[in-house]
Amino acid sequence: MANVLFINFKNYRQAFEGFPKLYQNLEAVARRYPAVGTFFAPPPLFAAKIADATDIPLWAQHSDPLTLERGTGFLPAEGERYLGIKGTFLNHSEHPMSDQDLAKAVELSHNAGLSTMIFADSIEAISRIRRLEPNYIAYEPPELIAGDVSVTSARAAIIPEAVEAARPTPLLVGAGIRAEEDIQTALKLGAIGAVVSSAIVTASDPAAALDRLLSAY
């Protein structure tokens, strides 16, 4: 399994005001590291614009368990496919889902040809969602999100357990990832990569921040 890095732009102001330069600069950096699969998860309101402005594979930040019928204000995976979306995040700690909705969203996403990454905050959760057969699982303790302490520092001992609990599904880590050492530790402990957000999107020099992280693979 190839190493990967996902950039979650969330709905940060920079993700909107920086268009298109932010995305194009980051794409240029990613192209210098072809051995690492780099993916963007742009703000849902901006996905179509990013698809037109870059060639980086795009992932949705969320998909709802709905088909293309009724459902005002929701994000059906089948509809996201028409934007060229390649995959979708599910059950992020900032957008949690019930087990029933999660199972249905995975099914509909896969039926639409989208890959899936399910976020989990514990070993128990990883063991439970592994049975849904997502393409990736991301271990992300919510209390560390956007903080100054990374998951690879605060939860390093748990990462090998998380990798084993997720097997055979490849595991990524997230929350507080911002330095080369975080990436190196994650890979050393068995993860295939990371999900990052503020460390790149809100950085004073996002391209340089991405270059540092990709250089660690």
Tokens of 108: 């509909």
Q: Which of 21, 31, 1, 10 is nearest to 214 (CA)?
A: 31
Phi and psi of 129, rounded to 5°?
Answer: -80, -20
Phi and psi of 4, rounded to 5°?
Answer: -140, 160
Q: Which of 103, 105, 151 is nearest to 128 (CA)?
A: 103
Q: Tell me, what amino acid is at 101?
A: D
Scan for tokens 């742009």, then name that residue. 42
Catalytic residues: 92, 140
Distance CA 13, CA 25 (A): 17
Q: Write the burial class of residue 135 (CB in 10 Å: 0-12 exposed, 13-18 middle, 19+ buried).
A: middle
Q: Tell me, what amino acid is at 187?
A: L
